[in-house]
Amino acid sequence: MNGNQVITIMRGYGSGGRTMGKMLAKDLGWNYYDRELLRMASDESGINEELFARADETARRSMLSLFRVQKDCLDGTVISPSSENFLSGENLFRYQARIIRKLADTENCVIVGRCANYVLRDYENVVNVYVHAPEKVCIRTVMNLYGMSREDAEKTIRETDRRRADYVRTYTGRDWKCADDYDLCIDSSRMEWDECIRIVKSYLDCIKK
């Protein structure tokens, strides 16, 4: 693997994938991107950042949208501002995909979420990671982090993971938990964070040889 490298992370809510991503980026000295991509896409498009955030929350499977996105959204093509579809969820995804591709072309970075593994599926300089943990562990983590009751934590995890599944299915046609789409699947409950990071870095070293 030559040139810059990218690690994408998809994660179940409460598994600590975002925490791992930040720690990994810091350890490697790379840039870290998550919701920052919404601001960058907003700056490039002139579209209010809140619309990008809202699109994350409201994506639902649409076969028409799915067909169009799979066909040409990943090559940097966006819809003209003069089109009635300029503010569509599809075009918002196109702008995010455009930013993700630019980052992968120019710098070392860790990208969390945003279907980055799919957007960059034809790139050789990308390692795709899926972070998960047993439900009981995720519930306990969310309860401790946010002071929620068990019932509220279960509901939050269920709804958040459903939105993520809908978003991935809408814009990629894929099941976000499909192991075929990742180079590494890590159960974060089985080891400490430094060990998780060591595994990813070891994988990077192996594929660079």
Question: Band of the pLDDT at 194, cuts 50, 70, 90?
Answer: very high
* CA distance linking residue 92 with residue 113, whole number of Å: 15
Q: What is the pLDDT of residue 1?
A: 45
Name the one residue in this structure whose structure tokens are 């519930």: 139
The tokens for 104 are 């992968």
Average pLDDT value for residue range 8-22 = 95
pLDDT in tens, 57-71: 555 545 445 545 555
Could you tell me the sign of the dihedral formed by the alpha carbons of 95, 96, 101, 107, in that order? positive
Is residue 100 within 8 A of residue 125, CB to CB? The reply is no
Average pLDDT value for residue range 87-110 = 85
Question: Of 131 and 84, which is predicted with more confidence?
Answer: 131
Instruction: Give first-to-last CA distance, the chain, whole Å.
Output: 8
Global pTM reads: 0.85
* CA distance linking residue 153 with residue 146, whole number of Å: 9
179 has pLDDT over 80: yes
Name the one residue in this structure whose structure tokens are 């972070």: 131
Question: Of 86 and 14, which is predicted with more confidence?
Answer: 14
Does residue 1 fall inside a structural domain? no
Collapsing DSSP to helix, strand or coil, 196 comes out as helix
Is residue 30 within 8 A of residue 125, CB to CB? The reply is no
Lowest-pLDDT choice from 40-44, 60-64, 129-133 = 60-64
Q: What is the pLDDT of residue 70?
A: 52
Q: Provide, rounded to the nearest whole percent, the portion of the chain with pLDDT above 70.
A: 79
Does residue 197 fall inside a structural domain? yes
DSSP-derived letter for residue 18 is H
168 has pLDDT over 50: yes
Domain containing residue 104: 6-208
CATH number at residue 87: 3.40.50.300
Instruction: Look at the chain and report how many structural domains it folds into.
Output: 1
Is residue 2 within 8 A of residue 13, CB to CB? The reply is no
47 has pLDDT over 70: yes
* CA distance linking residue 15 with residue 38, whole number of Å: 22
182 has pLDDT over 80: yes
Does residue 94 fall inside a structural domain? yes
Does residue 57 fall inside a structural domain? yes
Burial class (CB in 10 A: 0-12, 13-18, 19+), 90: buried
Question: Of 31 and 64, which is predicted with more confidence?
Answer: 31
Lowest-pLDDT choice from 11-20, 50-59, 111-120 = 50-59
